[in-house]
């Protein structure tokens, strides 16, 4: 089991991706593991990932679990090897679609529900000003409209979505 080393370029990408992740509220190691698997042509096992990234085995385990939970990394079996191997989705469009959708499901949707409840409760709440009630309603409505739009985009076949974005949506500007 030889230690496959990274080129300077690969290393830079992985480190940058990790930084990026942190800014978006994603654990650095999770982002790095993902970056590594994204670049890697063949599936890697947990041990290899530790060695390449120089992070603790436990972190890799947790990160892989997280990435699998998002559906962007999958286990693959290898003949004659008991250990699990992991590979990432390699289609960037599909990756983006899944990541955005997962974050929406986990973070936006619950917020939307809370806001809807608050907005409707605020209407008849003596302690809450009509003005606050209005703003809550506007925010709730905004989330509603924009998530509905997102869902629609999300349901498009990948190729169609890609074409739509490339075309520029509403009609291209000069």
The residues of the shown chain that bind DNA, judged by CB under 7 A, are 27-29, 45-47, 54-59, 61-62, 64-65, 82-84
DSSP string, 97-113: HHHHHHHIIIIIHHHHH
| Token pair of 125 as six digits | 């709440």
The owner of tokens 């990756």 is 95
* Residues 44, 40: Cα–Cα separation, whole Å: 8
Q: Pick the closer one to its own copies by CB: 4 or 83.
A: 4
Contact status, residue 88 vs residue 73, Cβ threshold 8 Å: yes
**Smallest distance from DNA to CB 72, Å:** 16
Report which of 53, 54, 58 is spatially closest to residue 34, judged by C-alpha positions: 53
Residue 70 as a binder of its own copies (CB under 8 A): the answer is: no
Would you say 57 or 105 has its CB closer to its own copies? 105
Coil, strand or helix at 7: coil
- Which stretch in 48-56, 65-73, 75-83, 164-172 sits in contact with its own copies by CB under 8 A? 164-172
Total of residues contacting its own copies (CB under 8 A): 55
Interaction between residue 60 and its own copies (CB under 8 A): no
Alpha carbons 154 and 85: distance in angstroms, whole number = 29
Closest CA to 42 of 1, 2, 78: 78
Residues forming contacts to its own copies in the complex (CB under 8 A) are 7-10, 12-13, 16, 20, 22-25, 38-39, 41, 90, 92-93, 96, 107, 111, 114-115, 118, 121-122, 125, 127-129, 131-132, 135-136, 138-139, 141-142, 145-146, 148-149, 152-153, 155-156, 160, 164-166, 168-170, 172-173
């Amino acid at each position: 089991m030889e230690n496959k080393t990274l080129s300077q370029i690969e290393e830079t990408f992985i480190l940058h991706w990790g930084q990026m992740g942190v800014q978006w509220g994603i654990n650095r190691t999770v982002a790095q593991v993902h970056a590594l698997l994204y670049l890697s042509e063949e599936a890697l096992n947990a041990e290899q990932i530790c060695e390449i990234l120089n992070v603790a085995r436990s972190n890799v385990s947790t990160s892989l679990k997280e990435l699998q939970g998002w559906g962007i990394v999958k286990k693959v079996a290898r003949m004659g090897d008991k250990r699990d191997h992991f590979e990432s989705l390699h289609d960037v469009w599909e990756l983006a679609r899944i990541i955005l959708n997962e974050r929406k499901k986990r973070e936006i949707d619950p917020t939307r529900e809370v806001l809807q409840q608050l907005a409707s409760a605020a209407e008849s709440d003596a302690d809450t000003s009509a003005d606050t009630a209005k703003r809550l309603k506007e925010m709730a409505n905004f989330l509603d409209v924009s998530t509905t739009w997102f869902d629609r985009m999300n349901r498009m076949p990948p190729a169609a979505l890609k074409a739509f974005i490339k075309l520029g949506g509403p009609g291209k500007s000069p």
